[in-house]
C-alpha cells in the first residue's frame, strides 16, 4: 500500500539530473531565496494561491488575475529548480509539485475552453495531463520515480504562454487566440514526447 508522504519530511534525495533551465533560474533568482525556504513551501504556496487565481479568471477580473496567474506560474519554475540545485527533493514534492501544475493549468483551460479555443485541443491537453499524473502515481506505488525532463519543462512553459496569450486576447482584445492555439498544440507534442521519454 502506498504511504502518504509528509510535508514536513526532511529526508532529501539528491537530484538525478539538474536541467539547463534549473541553472539559468538559479543564476537569475535562487540566490535571493533564503535557506529556510524549502521547495515544499513554494509548492504549498502555489497550491493555495491557485484558488484565488482561478476565481479571478473565472469572474473575468483580468487586471489582477493575469499578473497573479503569471506569478503563480513562475513559482512552478522556482520550486523544482530549488529542489534539484540544492538537493532538497522529497517524496512530498515529487507528488505535489506536478499536482500543483495541473491545479493551475487544467481549470484555466477549462475556463478558456468556451472562449476562442477548440474544445478538442483542451480535452486532449487535459486527458494527457491526467494520464501522466495517474501513471506517475502507479509508477511510484511500484517503487519507481518519474524525474523531471526537458520535454516536460518545455510543455509547461508552452501551456503557460498559450494561456497567457488567450487571457490577453480576452482582456485587451489582442488578436492572439490563434497563436495561443498553435502554442498549446505544440505543448501537446512536448507532452507526448515526455511520456515517450519516461517510457510510460
> What is the predicted pLDDT for the residue at 1?
44
The pLDDT assigned to 8 comes to 64
DSSP 8-class letter at 2? P
Phi, psi angle pair for 187, to nearest 5°: -65, -30
Ranges of each domain in the chain: 20-198
pTM for the full model?
0.86
How confident is the model at residue 114, as a pLDDT?
66
Cα dihedral across residues 161, 106, 169, 74: positive or negative: negative
The pLDDT mean for the chain works out to 85
pLDDT score recorded for residue 104: 94
CATH architecture of the domain 20-198 equals: Up-down Bundle (1.20)
Pick the residue with more confidence: 198 or 166? 166
Check pLDDT > 60 for residue 199: no
Tell me which of 51-65, 96-110, 115-129 is least confident. 115-129
Q: List the single range of 1-15, 147-161, 183-197 with lowest mean pLDDT.
A: 1-15
For every residue of 18-69, DSSP letters joined together read --HHHHHHHHHTGGGS-TT--HHHHHHHHHHHHHHHHHHHHTT-HHHHHHHH
DSSP structure string for 147-175:
---HHHHHHHHHHHHHHHHHHHHHHH--S
Give the whole-number percent of the chain exceeding pLDDT 70: 84
State pLDDT tens for residues 162-189. Answer: 999 999 988 988 888 889 989 999 999 9
What pLDDT sits at residue 196?
84
Weakest-pLDDT range from 65-74, 132-141, 166-175: 132-141
Amino acid at each position: 500500500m502506498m504511504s502518504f508522504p509528509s510535508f514536513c519530511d526532511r529526508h532529501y534525495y539528491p537530484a538525478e539530473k539538474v536541467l539547463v533551465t534549473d541553472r539559468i533560474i538559479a543564476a537569475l533568482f535562487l540566490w535571493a531565496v533564503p535557506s529556510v525556504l524549502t521547495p515544499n513551501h513554494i509548492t504549498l504556496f502555489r497550491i493555495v494561491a491557485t484558488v484565488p487565481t482561478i476565481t479571478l479568471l473565472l469572474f473575468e477580473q483580468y487586471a489582477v488575475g493575469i499578473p497573479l496567474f503569471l506569478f503563480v506560474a513562475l513559482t512552478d519554475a522556482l520550486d523544482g529548480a530549488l529542489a534539484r540545485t540544492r538537493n532538497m527533493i522529497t517524496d512530498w514534492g515529487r507528488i505535489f509539485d506536478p499536482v500543483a501544475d495541473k491545479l493551475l493549468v487544467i481549470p484555466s483551460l477549462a475556463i478558456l475552453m468556451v472562449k476562442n479555443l477548440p474544445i478538442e485541443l483542451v480535452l486532449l491537453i487535459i486527458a494527457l495531463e491526467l494520464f501522466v499524473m495517474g501513471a506517475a502515481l502507479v509508477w511510484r506505488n511500484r517503487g519507481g520515480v518519474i524525474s523531471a525532463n526537458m520535454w516536460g519543462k518545455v510543455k509547461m512553459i508552452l501551456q503557460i504562454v498559450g494561456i497567457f496569450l488567450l487571457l490577453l486576447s480576452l482582456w485587451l482584445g489582442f488578436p492572439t487566440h490563434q497563436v495561443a492555439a498553435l502554442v498549446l498544440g505544440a505543448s501537446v507534442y512536448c507532452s507526448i514526447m515526455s511520456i515517450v521519454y519516461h517510457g510510460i
